[in-house]
Amino acid sequence: MSKLANTKDLFKKAYDGGYAIGAFNVNNMEILQAIVDAGHEERAPLILQVSAGARKYARHEYLVKLVEAAMLTTDIPIVLHLDHGEDFEVCKSCVDGGFSSVMIDASAKPFQENIKITKQVVEYAHARGVTVEAELGKLAGVEDAVNVKAEDATYTDPAQVKEFVEATGVDSLAIAIGTSHGAFKFKGDPKLDFARLDTISKLVPGFPIVLHGASSVPQALVDECNKYGGKLPGAKGVPEEMLRQAARSAVCKINIDTDLRLAMTATIRKVFVEKPEEFDPRKYLGPARDAIKAVVKNKLKNVLGCSGKA
Ligand code: G3H
Ligand code: 13P
Ligand code: ZN
């Protein structure tokens, strides 16, 4: 079995090649299998990310062993990454517990405190071959342990980026340019601040940028969900064309979770409505897995540009 990859070489190749690696959230076996089978078929490197909520739900040990099992089925590079690590302790526990990459998200803290905590995580992780992502600026929406009201959301200040990157030694940086977590990202027309992204990338040439909250929330998926009893009026995501543009730039990692949740939920709703007599979990989790796999394959091939890069 090959070892977990960290993000170092993958991001260098993605930066130079003008594509992005997909980072997909894992919460159970079916989601993991769908992502890994999609990556395997597309020959795409993958970042499998685990939030605090996922660790609580599925438990750390199970998630690590499930990912190890997945790695027996494929030779594509796989990163096991902590999503939105809240403090040094949770990052340490993932570094010690077999992850190859961690995110320390101290973005809600004052700038100097964010630097201090990020630096502490970087020192601990780098000594153990683990790469680190940090965040500067605040995304709108609800994150694990990071509650930011839309009105308080602030985009990343380019003036802080160079100092942050140099002072912390971090391997990649999540920035806020208008994306947000969940299915309701924009009230009006979708808009991302590409000028800000451009300014930031010029200040730190060659440095990998990360985009969180990058689900597209395709209308077809929302309609499918609603058709079978879901209630998602007004759900709106980041258009695929904007993600293609980001993937060609300094953005090397694009985070997607909501689209997988929508595909899974729409499919399960459909099975329950069309076959109310069904109670074998494999009869709804199996089709849900297929639906997630199709979503991931489309992202890898048609949006992120990372198919064939494994
Ligand atoms: O950042 C948000 C991800 O979608 C993870 O969500 O905290 O509900 O697991 P979660
Ligand atoms: P979405 O909610 O847009 O899928 O974003 C997921 C994410 O950023 C996980 O960190
Ligand atoms: Zn996120």
Say how far apart CA 132 and CA 149 lie, in whole Å. 26
Residue nearest to atom 1 of ligand 2 (CA): 213
Active centre residues (catalytic): 83
User: 267 in ligand 2 pocket by Cβ < 6 Å?
Assistant: no
| CB neighbour list of residue 52: distance below 8 Å, 6 or more residues apart | 84, 85, 86, 90, 144, 145
CB 201 within 8 A of CB 10: no
Say how far apart CA 215 and CA 185 lie, in whole Å. 9
* Residue-range domains of the chain with CATH: 7-304 (3.20.20.70)
User: 37 in ligand 2 pocket by Cβ < 6 Å?
Assistant: no
The pLDDT value recorded for residue 149 is 54
Tell me which residues have their CB within 5 A of the ion that is ligand 3.
Answer: 212
Give the ligand whose atoms come closest to the C-alpha of residue 179.
2
* Averaged pLDDT, 29-46: 99
If DSSP codes are grouped into helix, strand and coil, which group holds residue 132? strand
pLDDT category at 139 given cuts 50, 70, 90 is: confident
Give the ligand whose atoms come closest to the C-alpha of residue 48.
2
Backbone angles phi, psi at 199, to 5 degrees: -60, -45
Token pair listed for 208: 């990998």
User: 270 in ligand 2 pocket by Cβ < 6 Å?
Assistant: no
Residue nearest to atom 3 of ligand 2 (CA): 213
Residue nearest to atom 5 of ligand 1 (CA): 51
The pLDDT value recorded for residue 2 is 81
Chain centroid offset of residue 25 CA: 6
Residue nearest to atom 1 of ligand 1 (CA): 143
Using CA atoms of 34, 37, 41, 46 in order, give the dihedral in degrees to the nearest 10: 90
Q: Residues enclosing ligand 1, CB less than 6 A?
A: 25, 51, 53-54, 83-84, 143-144, 181, 257
Mutate to test the pocket of ligand 2, among 255, 264, 295 (most ligand atoms within 8 A of CB): 255
The pLDDT value recorded for residue 189 is 92
Q: What is the pLDDT of residues 156-196, one digit of tens each?
A: 999 999 999 999 999 999 999 999 999 999 988 999 999 99
Closest ligand 2 atom to 256 CA:
4
Residue nearest to atom 5 of ligand 2 (CA): 213
Q: What is the pLDDT of residues 288-306, one digit of tens each?
A: 999 999 999 999 999 999 9
Q: What is the DSSP string of 143-178?
A: ETTEEE-GGG-----HHHHHHHHHHH--SEEEE-SS
What percent of the chain stands above pLDDT 90? 93
The pLDDT value recorded for residue 151 is 43
Q: What is the pLDDT of residues 261-296, one digit of tens each?
A: 999 999 999 999 999 999 999 999 999 999 999 999
Q: What is the pLDDT of residues 223-247, one digit of tens each?
A: 999 999 999 999 999 999 999 999 9
Say how far apart CA 92 and CA 132 lie, in whole Å. 11
- Which residue type does 140 have? A
CA–CA distance from 239 to each of 131, 217, 236, 261, 292 (Å)?
A: 29, 8, 9, 17, 18
Q: What is the pLDDT of residues 56-108, one digit of tens each?
A: 999 999 999 999 999 999 999 999 999 999 999 999 999 999 999 999 999 99
Whether 53 shows a pLDDT value over 60: the answer reads yes
| Ligand 2 centre distance from Cα of residue 213 (Å) | 4
